[in-house]
Structures are given as structure tokens and as C-alpha cells.
Structure 1
Amino acid sequence: MKQANRPATWLRRAIPALGLAASLAFAAPAAPRAESLADALVSAYKHSGLLVQNRALLRAADEDVAATVAGLRPIINWSSDITRSFSKVPNTPLPGTRSSGDTNASAGITAELLLYDFGRTPLQISAAKEAVLATRQTLIGIEQQVLLRAVQAYMNVQRNSRFVSLRQSNVRVISQSLRAARDRFEVGEVTRTDVAQAEARLASARGALAQAQGDLTQAIEEYIAAIGHRPGRLTQPPRLPRIARSVDSAKAVAVRSHPDVLKVQHDVAAAELNIRVAEAAMKPRVTLNGSLGVTEEFGGSSFRRQGSFGVQATGPIYQGGRLSAAKRRAQALRDAQRGVLHVTTHAVRQNVGNAYAVLRAARATADAGAEGVRAAQVAFDGVREEAKLGSRTTLDVLNAEQELLNARFDQISAQADVYIAAYRVLAAMGQLTVRDLNLAVQTYDPAAYYNLVKTAPVPSSKQGRQLDRVLKSLGKR
């Protein structure tokens, strides 16, 4: 065509639209939003069924302490029975039989109190307490998982929302370009090739928009599952949380305070105590025993009262090696827990190192993304001006706009990855908890229930009645 090197009329109309749409799409969201990241974390903490489940498991471990403490208390049982006995004998020398029978009723109470068992029961109580402490650390680990999932859900909704906005803007821009190309084609100023190129680019943009909308829908579903409600208007996340600058210092903190490490340390302590429990099981057991009962024969004159009390000592002589096997088993479990501690400690250190590596990479990618957006913007502006002078084609402008769009996508994704990586570092260090983040929410006190049950209260006691009220309130949740 004679005017092939001159910018087409439709191109001159489309280029300002391209620049305006690109600048709108790439501008950071400025509208105020309702829900902050801290709000989302609080909602996740309140909503999590996983936390509810593990709090109940912790209360079950607390009750193990109470059940073991009960072994030091008097054990009192009652029993009663009514027995009817009868007999028929031949009535010799006369024909027939003679019947006789009587009915007896009895009731009794037995009591037993442990006096001494070489520390076996106190050792079992200590082991149960270590199990409680281990379960508390498990609960803290679950709390970290819940909060990290909430951070990821929050950032992914933000990421995918901005992706959809960019894709929608891209579709609008290319749709304007396609309309201009068709108008110009009708008057014979461009070829069918220009129209087909714009049509192909629009089809690709619409497909990318549909994919982005699908990704946003999935991110919203994950947000609902993790946080408990649909996302509203989300604020931009605050500045990154403060973390240790040195990887080595972060590893040292993790080894000292990570809930996985602390849990296994308590498991090792419980295993050590169980060895001593197995040793004490080989020794005698001294108890104080007593009983009181009455027996009455209905229809007769027999009425008896009986009772007894005394000190009883029992101990094993030979049990086929069962007690020795129990001790060896306890020693093997102790060794296994020591191995778990070794593996867990190294895994925690490795996780900290990996988390820092991911964070460094995410930060470098974000910096590169910012530079990429700047360079792509300069390139797009240059191609647009060259197109006005006729030295660039429509396809060149569309390609430059697509490169700028891709650079902006990379930048948005990298920014979200930096936040997720920073909170993952906190989780690796064992510091991603409601208390460490100073969130405005009433935290679950794991010691409150334990303090109510550790002395094994009976329902009729003041503490037992208080415990009943606590259980009723838990049942209403």
C-alpha cells in the first residue's frame, strides 16, 4: 500500500487508549479497603476447626493427668446382691418330694489406699504432665499452620484480584484496537492481516482473563476455608514483619523455641520417666485395704455384719519375662524419641535456611520486577512514539503493551511472594503465633483447663462444679 510507512488513522486513535489503559491498569490500587491482614488472621484464629480439634485433644491429655493422680486417692467401691437358693429332695419312705429354699441379701463396701509403690504412680503422673506439655506445643504448631495458611490466602486473593483487573484492562484495550482496525479495513487503508492480528490478540486476552477469573475464584474459596468468610475489600498489607537478619541467629532461635523441637523434648522426657515406671513395676506395692458388709436371710433370723482391714503387700515373683520386656520396650521408645529429636532439630534448622533462601529470592525477584516494569514502560512509550512516526506497526505496539503487562504481572506476583516468604520465615522460627504477632484477639489459655482438672476433682466439689460450667460453655461453641 502507498501509505504503509505512515501511521494509520486507527493506530493514532488506538495508541492514546493503549497508554491510558496501561497506566490505569498498572497504577497501584488507591481505594480504601475494609479488611486488613491482621483482621484476617484474627478471623482465621477464631474460625479454625483444626484449632478446636487440637484444643480438645489437649484437654484429653489434661484428663490423663487427673486419671493418674486418682491412683494416689482412696478407691472405694460398693456391691450388693440378692440370692435365692432352693432344693428338692425325695420324701422317703413316703412317696413325693420335699422342697426347701431361702433368700439372702448382702451389701458391702471395699476401700483401698495406696501406701507405697516405689514411686511408680508419681512417675506416671510426671510422664502424663510431660505429655500435656508436648500436646501444648503441638497446638502451637497447629496455630502456626492456621495463620500461615491465612496469610497465603489473603495475599493470593489480592494477587489474583489485581491479575483480573489487569486482564480486563488488557481486553478493553485490544477491543478498541480491533474496532479501529476493522474501521480502517473497511475503507481499505489496512489489510486483513492487521485485523487478524488484533483478533488473535483479543482471543488470547479473553482466554487469559477467563483463566485469571478462575484463579481468583479458587483463591476466594481458599480464603473462605482458611479465614471463615468471603473476602471484602482488602487493604494493602503492612510493612514486612521484623525478622532476624542473620540466618544463623534465626536458626538458633528456632532450635530453642520452635514448637516441633519443644514437643519432642517433652516426648523424650516422658520416655525417660516411662523407663523408671517400668523399673518400679518390678517392685512391691503396699496398700491399705478395708471392707464392711451385711448379710440378711429373708424369712429367717440370720443377720450378719462383717468387716476387715489390713495392710497388704504384693509383688511379682515370676511373670515369664513380661516386666523385663516392658522395661526394654520403654528404653527402645526412649531411644526412638531421641532419634526423633535429632531429626526434628536438623529439619527445623533446614527449614529456616530454606525459608530465608526463598525470601531472598523473592526480594530479588521483586526488585528485578520493578526494574522490568520501568524498562518495559520506557520501551512501550518509545514504540508508541515510533508508531506515530510510521516506523512501527500495530503489532509492534501490541507486543510492547503485552511485555509491559507481563512485567507488571511479574511484579505483582513477586510482591505477594515476598510477604508470604517473610511470614514463612516466622513460622520456620516458631514465631508465627497470635502472641508473637500481637493480634487483638483473646487467646486460648491451655493452662486454664489443666488447672481445673490436675487435682482430679469430683463432681460434687466446688472445683468440680466450676469444671461442669466450663464443659457446658465448651459444648455450646
Structure 2
Amino acid sequence: MKKIIIILHCIFITHSSFAADKKLFTASEPSINEAPSGFWGVFSKTPDPGTLPAGGSALADKLQINPAEIDMQPAESNGADSFPADWQAAIQLAVNHHPSISSSIATLESSGFTIDVAKAGYLPAIKAGITTGRQQDEGSGHIATVGLSQMLYDFGKTGSAVDQASAKYLRQQATVLMQIDTIIEQTALALNEVYRSTQLLDNAKKEVKALRDILALTQMRAEAGASTRVDPVQAQARVEAAQASQLDLEIKLEQQKYHLQSLLGQPVAEKKISAPVSLLPLIERQSARIDLNRNPTILVAQADAAVALAELRNYKAQRYPTLSLEANTNKYIGDIADYQRHSQYQNVYLSVNSTLYQGGALVAQESASARALEAARTTIASKKLEISDQQRNYFQSVKGLQKNITLLSSRMKTIMETRALYREQYLSLGNRNVLDLLNAEQEISRARQDLINARCDLWASSVNYLVVTGMARDAFDLNNKVIQGLRIAP
């Protein structure tokens, strides 16, 4: 008997919800023409890997995306009211704006759905299909089939898949925390650099003013015949050098503001940024021992080990069969039904399926997973060494800078006294020349500069220490707060 059979399968899929609330991301996407869904797609045009890479403009055209232009001029501030009131508010603004955190959260939500996909292996699969065709002696017709398959026991195949998906979800959670900490660090340091540049610029302006005062004094004394014309020339040279340094600092300040603007997503106010709040009390409150597992980098490494362990368990389970319950009902439709004794029949049976031989692939996969697990555990130890070394370095830097600031403050008082003595000796006794006055004034400026840098370095080291110890979110009051739709737990 000859048969001509065309099989059409229809599979019904039910979707389960991962969470009660879902955040939708509506970022603009390239509207790329989709490839055909049928066999005729073989004739469709696709990129040729053998050709040279396209240029930027050509590639943008192929992706069908619009130009993304930026303004090279500074964005105008809407006023002081729109700028965050303090550094903590600025950091909270940055983490709620930055797209890298949005991307990490979207990936987290995506990985959450993979848990549902894996857990679906515990539930029955219901399939429906129609077989249509013609039998030579019995005419044409259809056979409608509805089947159910329920896994009863699979030696851990489904369980390990769930564990693997869960570990990947936890890994992405740690990645979100790591990205948040990165933006906290970048924003805090950017604020610090803007504040540093502002303070250094103010110091440079004071130096220019002080040197101009000395220049005016030398000009007055030269005109009165109390000194030579060399003194004003020397003073003028120092003033011009100080003005050049001031211009460099103005340029650097604008660059730092550009960087901060990109992190905050809004223009930086023209008013001066307030001084940062000291982070030393939080550092000093911590005990002498720090939990390394608070650092998201360590958590990512721990999750990688959990993923590798679940993968190894899955490959081991592939050695064993899967026991499942199969049930289906079939019905003949059309002329072919007239030739059947029963137009409808059912089957219920137990199925045991196992792959007996894969050419050694299973053994190789299991060996590779075992090595991956070993590598993941080694990575944990390596990351702990790296993080602990960073923690100690930043902690010692904080302690050292505190002592340095005390010395620089004392030095500042000494230099101020020296300047007063030099000025008195220059004006009254005449045993000091103008170079002594100029050097003393610039020494004061350098001392202020060193003190400003030391204080800003102390704050930067404090931020780095809090980030590497996993306490940055606590320091800037981000725990138990909603960041881009995701609540951050302590």
C-alpha cells in the first residue's frame, strides 16, 4: 500500500509569569528586515562574511538606524534648582539615569524567565497535530492527535537545569550590584575631580592676585628709586606664568564638568559644588575584619562556580534514562474514517528514553564541566586575594593621607609666617629681594595646592575603599531604594 502523508504539527505553549511586575524597556531599536520564515529564505540577501568590513556610515545604513549626534558645546544649565543639592543626591541621580544599569537590569529580568523555562520541564507537555494525506486503497483524510507527556523521573536532568538557570540569575543579580557600584564610584570620583579642580582654580586666582600685588609694589618702589627695574620685570614674568597655570586649570575644570554631565545626564550647575561629607566615620565604624563576600565581584565568581556545578550535574544525569508517562488520543477524519474499525483510539504507556552512544561527546562534556568547576573555584580564591589586597592598600592610603594632611596644615602655618617676615624685611630692612617675596608667595600657593590634593585624594581613597568592601551602597543611602525599577536589598 502506498501512502502520501503530509504532517502538520501545531504546538500550544503556555507562558508563565516570572514576577508580578515587569519593567518595560522601550529603547529605540534598529528596524532590520527580518529573514523569510520558509524555505525560500535561501534566496534572501544576507551579509557576506567574505567581504571587507563595512565602514561606520555603511554599517549604520545596513542596520537602518538614525544618526546619533551630540552637541560639542556645553549644555546650558536650567538653573541651580535642577542640580542635586549634595553629592549623595547627585550619585542617586546618576544610578537612576545611567543606561548601563538599565541594560544589566534588563538582562536580569531576561535571566529570570530562563528559570521558568527550566522549571517547565517538571510540568506536562501537551501537543496537538494533524496528519493529512491519502492512502491508495482507503482514500484521503486526516488523523487528529492530541498527546500529553509527563516526565516522572530523569535522574536530575531538569533539576540541574533549574539550578543552572537559578545560578545564572543570581550571577546577574551580582552583576547589577557590581554595575551600580561602578557608577557610584565613577560619579563620586567625577564629583571629587570637579571639586578638586574648582579649589585648585580658586587657589590659582589667589596666586595671580598676590603676584600682581607684588608687581604693583615693585613698580611703585622702582618709580620711587627704592629698587631697580629688574624687580618689576621678574614679577611680571611670574604673573604671566601663574596666569598660564590658571588657564590650564580652567580648561581641566571644563573637561571634568563634561565628564560629570555625561554621568548625571544633565548640565552641571555653574555654582560651586559643595565640599564632600567625610566618609571616615563609616570606615572607622567597621570592624578590623571585612566580609569579602560583600563585594559583588566575589559574588559573581561564586555564582560562576554554582553554574559550573549545575552544568556538571546535568551532564552526569545525561548518562541515565528518562522515565515519562505518555498519553494520546487519535481520531480519523474524512473518507479514511470509513475504512477504520474504530474512528478514535487512545494510547497510554510508560516511556524510557536514553541515548546509548554519542561518540564520546558526553564524556568529553562531563570532563570539560569538571575542569570548568575547578577553574571557577580557583577564580574565587584569586578574586579574594585581589580584593583583599585592594582593601588593605586603600585602607593604608586613607591612614597615610590623614597624617599627611596634618603635616601639610602645619607646613601652611609656617610658610605664612615666613611670607610675613620676608615682606617686612623687604619693605623695612631692605635685606630681602623681590625673588624672596615671589618665591614665598608661590610656596604658599603650592602648599595650598598640596593640601587641596591631599584632601581630595583622601576622599577618593575613601570612596575606593568603600566600593571594594561592598559598602558604597550603604554609604550613599542606596540600600532599600528603588533604582530603575529594581529594589536594592542590603
What amino acid does structure 1 have at the position aligned with 2:110? A
Where 1:114 maps in the other structure, the secondary structure is strand
Larger RCO of the pair (alpha carbons < 8 Å, separation 6+): 1
1:194-343 equivalence runs, <5 A: 194-232=231-269, 233-243=272-282, 245=284, 250=288, 252-297=289-334, 304-343=343-382
1:398 is the counterpart of 2:438: yes
Where 1:221 maps in the other structure, the secondary structure is helix
1:67-146 equivalence runs, <5 A: 67-80=117-130, 104-146=141-183
Q: Which has the higher helix share?
A: 1
Aligned to 1:35: 85
What is the alpha-carbon distance in structure 2 between the residues aligned to residue 140 and residue 168 of structure 1?
42
Aligned to 2:94: 44
Against the structure 1 CA distance between its residues 345 and 300, is the aligned structure 2 distance closer, same or farther, given a 3 Å change threshold?
closer
Deviation at 1:181, TM superposition (A): 4.4
Where 1:292 maps in the other structure, the secondary structure is strand
Match of 2:109 among 59, 68, 91: 59
What amino acid does structure 1 have at the position aligned with 2:469? M
Against the structure 1 CA distance between its residues 299 and 430, is the aligned structure 2 distance closer, same or farther, given a 3 Å change threshold?
closer
Aligned to 2:413: 374
Deviation at 1:436, TM superposition (A): 5.1
What is the alpha-carbon distance in structure 1 between the residues aligned to residue 383 and residue 242 of structure 2?
48
Aligned to 2:452: 412
What is the alpha-carbon distance in structure 1 between the residues aligned to residue 480 and residue 325 of structure 2?
51
Aligned to 1:4: none
Deviation at 1:298, TM superposition (A): 7.2
Deviation at 1:438, TM superposition (A): 2.8
What amino acid does structure 2 have at the position aligned with 1:424? N
Deviations 1:223-258 (Å, cap 9, x if unpaired)? 1123333333422222324345599x55x4232432
The 8 Å contact of residues 42 and 441 in structure 1, kept in 2 or not, is answered as: no
Against the structure 1 CA distance between its residues 300 and 107, is the aligned structure 2 distance closer, same or farther, given a 3 Å change threshold?
closer
More displaced 10-residue stretch of structure 1: 162-171 or 326-335: 162-171
What is the alpha-carbon distance in structure 2 between the residues aligned to residue 404 and residue 202 of structure 1?
15
Match of 1:150 among 181, 187, 209: 187
The 8 Å contact of residues 126 and 273 in structure 1, kept in 2 or not, is answered as: yes
What is the alpha-carbon distance in structure 1 between the residues aligned to residue 483 and residue 119 of structure 2?
25
Query: 4+ runs of 1 displaced by more than 6 Å?
Result: 298-303, 445-449
What is the alpha-carbon distance in structure 2 between the residues aligned to residue 85 and residue 212 of structure 1?
90
Where 1:422 maps in the other structure, the secondary structure is helix
Deviation at 1:339, TM superposition (A): 0.7
Where 1:308 maps in the other structure, the secondary structure is strand
What is the alpha-carbon distance in structure 2 between the residues aligned to residue 127 and residue 341 of structure 1?
18
What is the alpha-carbon distance in structure 2 between the residues aligned to residue 448 and residue 376 of structure 1?
52
Deviation at 1:411, TM superposition (A): 0.5
Against the structure 1 CA distance between its residues 432 and 225, is the aligned structure 2 distance closer, same or farther, given a 3 Å change threshold?
same
1:321-470 equivalence runs, <5 A: 321-389=360-428, 390-433=430-473, 435=474, 437-439=476-478, 442-444=481-483
Where 2:152 maps in the other structure, the secondary structure is strand
Deviation at 1:297, TM superposition (A): 4.1
What is the alpha-carbon distance in structure 1 between the residues aligned to residue 479 and residue 309 of structure 2?
40
Deviation at 1:109, TM superposition (A): 2.9
For the pair shown, which has the larger CA radius of gyration, 1 or 2?
1
Deviations 1:433-473 (Å, cap 9, x if unpaired)? 1x454349833499889xxxxxxxxxxxxxxxxxxxxxxxx
Deviation at 1:338, TM superposition (A): 1.0
Aligned CA-pair RMSD: 3.2
What is the alpha-carbon distance in structure 2 between the residues aligned to residue 329 and residue 299 of structure 1?
53
In structure 2, list runs of 5 or more residues that go unmatched: 1-82
More displaced 10-residue stretch of structure 1: 410-419 or 420-429: 420-429
The 8 Å contact of residues 210 and 441 in structure 2, kept in 1 or not, is answered as: no
Deviation at 1:213, TM superposition (A): 0.6
